[in-house]
Amino acid sequence: MGSNWTALSVIENGQIGVSLDRSLNTNPAGIKGANTDAVTVEIVGNFDIGGDIMLEFQKQSAVHLYACLADKFALPIDTEHIVYHHWYSSKGVKIVDFKTGKSISNSLLVRRVRVQRFGEMEIQSKQLKRDLFQM
């Protein structure tokens, strides 16, 4: 937590740590060219192929944290506002395949955060209204 580069960390057991040495009012050092007005959330683990598997309670904590941040800062819940550093090249260029709807895992992440934030019934109601108006 004291690494001086992140504000929030979700550790393996699902606990959320807050760095005391980085203000949320300071731009983080997370993604080159995409740090202005951002909050960096560190998900602790080696999630490269063959590495760690994120356990359900760590996933639930991360989803809950994303929903709380979206609520606090009035952010839309989509992959333009919840991003991961591996969605960007080392030069800060966004990889377009990671947009909401283009990947099952990204769509599931966005859905889980929306359900956490708004509740299942609200999401179903919004989807039904959207489907009705597209007919």
Give me the residues paired with residue 9 across strands: 17, 42
Strands 41-43 and 16-18 come out as unpaired
Q: Which helix (H) or strand (E) holds 18?
A: strand 16-18
DSSP-derived secondary structure for 21-46: TS-TTSPPSSSTT--TT---EEE-S-
> Which of 31, 108, 39, 92 lies closest to 70, judged by CA?
39
* 23 DSSP β-pair partners: none
pLDDT at 119: 80
Mean pLDDT of all residues in 111-117: 85
Q: For 8-26, how does the pLDDT look when each residue is reduced to its tens digit (9 = 90+)?
A: 889 999 999 887 776 666 7
Could you read off the pLDDT of 44-92 as tens digits, one per residue? 888 778 888 888 889 899 999 999 988 988 888 887 788 776 677 777 7
Taking residues 89-99, what's their average pLDDT?
A: 67
The predicted model scores a pTM of 0.70
